[in-house]
Structure 1
Amino acid sequence: MSHTAHIRSHRKPRRSASTIAMRAGVAGGVLSTLAVAGASGSANAAEPVTQTLELPTLTADLAAQVAQSADVTQQAAASYQLQAERDAAAAKAAKQAKTDLAEAKKKAAEAKKKAEEAERKEAAERASRAAERTTLSVSSDTGSSTGTGTSSNTSTSTSTSTATGSAAAVVSFVQAQVGKAYVSGATGPSAYDCSGLVQAAFKQVGISLPRVSQAQSTAGTQVGLDNLQPGDILYWGGAGSAYHVGVYVGGGMFVGAQNSSTGVVEKPLSYDPPSGAVRVL
């Protein structure tokens, strides 16, 4: 055996004839295909290919649609703006209405308060006048029940001199009003209340007296009931808080607008004894 017999041969094995023929056929097919393709390519190269891209054309209809869309957008914007303005105006009106309502309620409350105060004041005045008339009525009944004895005592303690001058004019005026009606707050000439009669009497001689009994009871010099003169103002109640006034006419008599039942009367002092007197003349 050769010394190289155990070494693998580096030579390639021989291919069979069939294999070689098959591979040659395949190669030939490929070459023929390439030849045909090359010929076709050469023919096509002689005729250049042109490709056209058609862009959309802005037609009249499309332009109209675009314009219409713009108009719609503008109208929508205007509508939104108008609505916003209306909302703002409504909010402002609501705020003003709320303010006006609050002011109206405040004024109504103030008016109601004033009306209630006026009503309370009027009720108090009515009650005061009612109490005054009740007191005068009770005093009148008391004077009548005491009889002539009190009248005699009072007559001897007062002046019986005849009035002259301004005092005579005052006396004459009040006596001329006897028989007229008593009306609270009246100052003549057809009706009087007590202080209205006294004020009207002194007005005849140019003397302006306060309107109410309380003020008239301090309008002159205080005098004692045992030193009365015609024309003196008589009062019932306290000086400065009197509830009734009249005029002393002499001879133990006085004239006064007593109440709605009697009207203006001339009565003796015993009929309703006064609390005090003031001299103005």
Structure 2
Amino acid sequence: MRVLPPLARMKVAFLGRPVFEPHVPRTAEWAEFRFFALGGDGGVSAADEVRAWGAGACLVFEPQRLDGAVVARLPGMKVGIVPAPFDGVESLAVLSEFRWLTWPESPIPAGLASLPWLQTLPLPVDTHRFTGGPRLQRTGLLVPEWASPSAPVLERIRERVPVELLPRGLEPSALLERLEGAGVLLHSSHEPLGRNDPLPMLALSRGLLLIADTPFPADWYVEPEDEYLLRKGEEQVRAVDELARMPGSFFAVRVRAWQKSREAFDASAAFQRLLHDACLLDDVEGHLGRMSTMGPVSDPAS
């Protein structure tokens, strides 16, 4: 999809907890980016920094967590990025302060339907951090402590391969370093993959083989067996056993997953399209007029 932001190179501020920093582009031709971590003051100091920087657009992760007075301090177009579903219409007041909002999957809850929703947007990933391709020779197995299989299953897996546990609360840089050195992520959850935990998508973006016992939301179009292994209980043990005996068993799955993340979940392309649509819907004639006078448009997929 060929798009054009409203300015040749706009300033885009991202605000959120540090955990969201790997989901923000560090650089792109179409915009200048900065990530502002929200501190203990509820975002007041971050909002002031954004104003001083002169942002033309503010994209806020977890907008329901901010106070309306903080949102009012933000300059430019304000877009709230909801990375995971939440309950509670008590957020209606603060969410209505945003010009546009995104929800991670469909449908949007009926109690929130009156808000200015722009699109469905799964949390994207800055895939440009991982441009070297999947390192297929790496086979180390990671298991997050918060999404671990049952103790008997994990013990049987440990009998076959070494297991590295991921602790809670790792800084983004430390988490990415662990992914860098691994080849497999084993993830067990009662929720659809990626809904409340961005780790599975980060793993796919890095070229790891993902073995999970729940699927991704259907409208994300990440396909089991093509881009990850959907296995439960003893099936996970058998998959790890096959990997231990034949390390090249699932190379094609890893490669397709790495490519899918670039095609469908790249942060630069996703946010460029989002801001293009936001500006277009705000002022259709004016935005199309700028597109006709500013030369060739860019293609986020290129």
> Which protein shows a greater Rg?
1
Shorter-chain TM-score range:
under 0.3
> Could you tell me the TM-score, scaled by structure 2's length?
0.20
Kindly indicate which of the two structures has a greater share of residues assigned to strand: 2
> Could you tell me the TM-score, scaled by structure 1's length?
0.21
